[in-house]
């Protein structure tokens, strides 16, 4: 049962072949047994989970259940959930029990009736690409426990890859859903900016952050995304659009679909094994009836520099509220207010978060704002315009998710520039606000998963998911399981 897709689980629940409580216990048992090897979960609360599962069972019994009612999920630990510890992977919030629910939690748990198995690990405040910056320790990749699972949604990816949860929420500001999905052999979607409410999702970089899903298949992603997306008046950047069934196009033939290959995504820096795996996928799409065209994203090489101005600028501002005065960590024995600020923040935040706060503070400070922040926002427009032009030539853009497969824990902690460059293919999508997804497309020589990225035009999630789905109908990469899980 634990290896089933969401449709199968839903059918079993609705046909009363298993109860939600039983299903939750199956996964909770695996968490208890296997999580110590992975460190994917920060918080597990069996009582709360079982209570939610009982409520789901009542809805199933009463006939008021939906497609997802009773299905367990893991929540990335930056979605506020009432009564749950919500840490953002930080010492700063190690004791923060949220008094309210994020919009995503309301939609998935309270409305759709999904059952939270707990809160999963992440890079501190979502700043990282390897899940090594968490105050709660690094997360290990189920495919190779000496490797990182990717980040920042590393706990989400590890939990789903190891079947500790059938599906997990994630957030993606520069690749934080797609890259861990790629590293862990999973499917992950970051929708168009503004589709999923950011209310209650602790902000890292407000103009880039977007909630999404990590699951085993594009189909599972579509089902959960349909339940989590939707207009929310509490988020001024939430888009007023009618609700969508993102699985509605699944199974439609690809005939005539134009897939764009940006040469910039296949150049230097990309690992040869990754490139050849991705090119094999292109062949598969040709067989499925797609047409391949070349497109250009001439400014995409600037996306990392732009990102490392904009994201830290917004982060330095967003994280100003963490001062240890109203909630969160306060350093002991502060003599005065100034010390309370500087010590609480110095002790509460980890090294990467502090680095980014300092970068952001600098680029916004007097005399540097124009040269860095404004400049980056202008180049951001150029990058977005590249995509606009590219989508005149094609329907979806295809390339690798990451230049490499998962790297070793500790390998890149001293070379920050190399670490930052590992997000080179995913970041541009956030800068433009487009939907992007990653699906598994093979393995490298060490048996590590290779991820394929598909980028769609604004609001084209349903088509994007179908393009991924058809590939998964023709291949079985997404059904492979890491040894020992």
Partner 1 sequence: MSLTLLEIEHIARLARLEITPAEVETACWQLNGIFSLIEALQAVDTAGIEPKTHVHDAWQRLRADEVTYRDEDGAVRDLLQSIAPDAENGLYLVPKVIE
Partner 2 sequence: MTWEIVIGLETHTQLATKSKIFSGASTAFGAAANTQASLIDLALPGVLPVLNKGAVECAIRFGLAVEATVAEKSAFARKHYFYPDLPKGYQISQLESPIVQGGHLDIMVGQGEKSYEKRIRLTRAHLEEDAGKSLHEDFHGKSGIDLNRAGTALLEIVSEPDMRSAEEAVAYAKALHTLVRWIGICDGNMQEGSFRCDANVSVRRPGAPLGTRREIKNLNSFRYLKEAIEFETRWQIETLEDGGQFEQATVLFDPATGETRAMRSKEDAHDYRYFPDPDLLPLLVSADWIEREQTALPELPAAKRQRFISDYGLSAYDAAILTASLEMADYFEAAVRASIPAAAKLCANWVMVDLAARLKREDREISEAAVNATQLGGLVMRIMDGTISNAIGKKVFDALWAGEGSDADEIIEKHGLRQITDSGAIEGLVDEALSANPVSVSEYKAGKEKAFNALVGQVMKAAKGKANPQQVTELLRQKLASG
Catalytic residue annotation: 76, 152, 176
Contact call for residues 118 and 43 (beta carbons, < 8 A): yes
CA distances 182 to 281, 333, 441, 478, Å, are: 14, 45, 9, 11
The listed partner (partner 2, partner 1, none) that binds 95, CB under 5 to 8 Å by sort, is: partner 1
Distance CA 123, CA 420 (A): 14
Rounded to 5°, angle at Cα 21 from 15 and 26: 100
Instruction: Please select the residue that binds partner 2; options are 8, 64, 95, 100, rule is CB under 8 A.
Output: 100
Residues 323-362 that bind partner 2 (CB under 8 A): 323, 325-327, 337, 341, 361
Binding range to partner 1, per CB under 8 A, among 5-13, 175-183, 257-265, 324-332: 324-332
**Contact indicator for 226, 195 with CB cutoff of 8 Å:** no
Angstrom distance (rounded) from CA 71 to CA 49: 11
Closest CA to 222 of 36, 439, 475, 441: 439
Q: What is d(CA 448, CA 185) in angstroms, rounded to the nearest whole number?
A: 8
13: Cβ–Cβ under 8 A, 6 or more apart, which residues?
Answer: 19, 20, 23, 56, 60, 65, 69, 70, 71
Candidate list 372, 425, 471, 477; residue touching partner 1; CB under 8 A: 372
| CB closer to partner 2, 207 vs 475 | 207
Query: What does 375 bind: partner 1, partner 2, none (CB cut-off 5 to 8 Å by kind)?
Result: partner 1
Residues 237-266 that bind partner 1 (CB under 8 A): 237, 239-240
Residue 365 found at the interface with partner 2 (CB under 8 A):
yes
Taken in order 12, 13, 17, 18, is the CA torsion positive or negative? positive
Among the listed residues 47, 417, 476, 483, the single contact to partner 1 using CB under 8 A: 417
Among 142, 165, 246, 274, residue whose Cα is nearest residue 468: 246
Strand 258-262, strand 291-295: pairing? parallel
Choose the contact partner of 86 out of partner 1, partner 2, none; CB within 5 to 8 A by kind.
Answer: partner 2
Instruction: Count the residues of the shown chain that bind partner 1, applying the rule CB under 8 A.
Output: 68
Min dist CB 338 to partner 1, Å, is 7
Q: What is the DSSP string of 121-153?
A: --SGGG--SSS-S-TT----BTTBTTB---SSS
Task: Compare residues 369 and 485 and give the one whose CB is closer to partner 1.
Answer: 369
Q: Please report how close the Cβ of residue 52 comes to partner 1 at its closest, in angstroms.
A: 21
Beta carbon of residue 110, minimum distance to partner 2 (angstroms, whole number)? 16
Residue 299: CB minimum distance to partner 1, A: 8
CB of 94 to partner 1, least distance (A): 12
Contacts to partner 2 by CB under 8 A: 78-80, 86, 88, 93, 96, 98-100, 102, 198-203, 205-207, 233-237, 313-314, 316-317, 320-323, 325-327, 337, 341, 361, 364-366, 369, 373
Residue ranges binding partner 1 (CB under 8 A): 95-97, 99, 193-194, 207, 233, 236-237, 239-240, 299, 301-302, 304-306, 308-309, 316, 323-330, 334-343, 345-346, 349, 354-355, 357-359, 361-362, 365, 371-372, 374-382, 384, 416-417, 420-421, 432-433
């Amino acid at each position: 049962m634990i290896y089933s897709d969401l449709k199968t689980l839903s059918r079993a629940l609705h046909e009363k072949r298993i109860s939600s409580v039983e299903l939750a216990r199956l996964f909770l048992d695996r968490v208890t047994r296997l999580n110590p090897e992975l460190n994917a979960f920060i918080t597990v609360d069996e009582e709360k989970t079982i209570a939610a599962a009982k409520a789901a069972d009542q809805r199933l019994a009463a006939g008021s259940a939906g497609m997802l009612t009773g299905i367990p999920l893991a929540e990335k630990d930056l979605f506020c959930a009432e009564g749950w510890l919500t840490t953002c992977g930080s010492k700063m919030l190690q004791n923060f029990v949220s008094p309210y629910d994020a919009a995503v939690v309301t939609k998935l748990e309270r409305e759709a009736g999904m059952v939270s198995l707990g809160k999963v690990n992440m890079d501190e405040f979502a700043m990282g690409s390897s899940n090594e910056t968490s105050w709660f320790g690094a997360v290990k990749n189920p495919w190779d426990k000496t490797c990182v699972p990717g980040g920042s949604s590393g706990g989400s990816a590890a939990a789903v890859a190891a079947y500790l949860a059938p599906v997990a929420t994630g957030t993606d500001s520069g690749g934080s859903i797609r890259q861990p999905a790629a590293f862990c052999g999973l499917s992950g979607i970051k929708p168009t900016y503004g589709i999923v409410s950011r209310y209650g999702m602790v902000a890292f970089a407000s103009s880039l952050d977007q909630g999404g899903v990590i699951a085993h298949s594009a189909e599972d992603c579509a089902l959960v995304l349909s339940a989590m997306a939707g207009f929310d008046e509490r988020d001024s950047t939430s888009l007023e659009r009618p609700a969508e069934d993102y699985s509605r196009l699944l199974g439609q033939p690809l005939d005539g679909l134009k897939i764009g290959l940006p040469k910039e995504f296949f150049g230097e820096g990309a690992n040869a094994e990754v490139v050849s795996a991705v090119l094999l996928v292109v062949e598969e799409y040709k067989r499925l009836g797609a047409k391949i065209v070349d497109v250009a994203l001439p400014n995409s090489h600037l996306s990392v520099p732009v990102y490392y101005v904009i994201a830290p600028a917004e982060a330095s501002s967003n994280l100003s509220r963490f001062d240890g005065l109203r909630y969160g960590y306060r350093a002991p024995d502060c003599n005065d207010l100034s010390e309370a600020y500087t010590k609480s923040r110095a002790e509460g935040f980890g090294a990467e978060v502090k680095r980014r706060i300092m970068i952001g503070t600098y680029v916004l400070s007097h005399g540097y704002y124009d040269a860095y922040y404004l400049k980056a926002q202008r180049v951001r427009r150029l990058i977005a315009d590249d995509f606009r032009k590219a989508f005149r030539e094609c329907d979806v853009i295809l390339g690798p998710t990451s230049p490499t497969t998962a790297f070793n824990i500790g390998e890149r902690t001293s070379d920050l520039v190399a670490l930052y460059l590992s997000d080179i293919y995913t970041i541009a999508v956030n800068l433009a606000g487009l939907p992007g997804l990653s699906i598994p497309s093979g393995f490298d020589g060490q048996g590590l998963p290779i991820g394929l990225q598909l980028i769609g035009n604004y609001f084209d999630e349903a088509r994007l998911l179908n393009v991924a789905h058809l590939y998964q109908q023709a291949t079985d990469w997404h059904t492979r399981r890491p040894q020992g899980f």
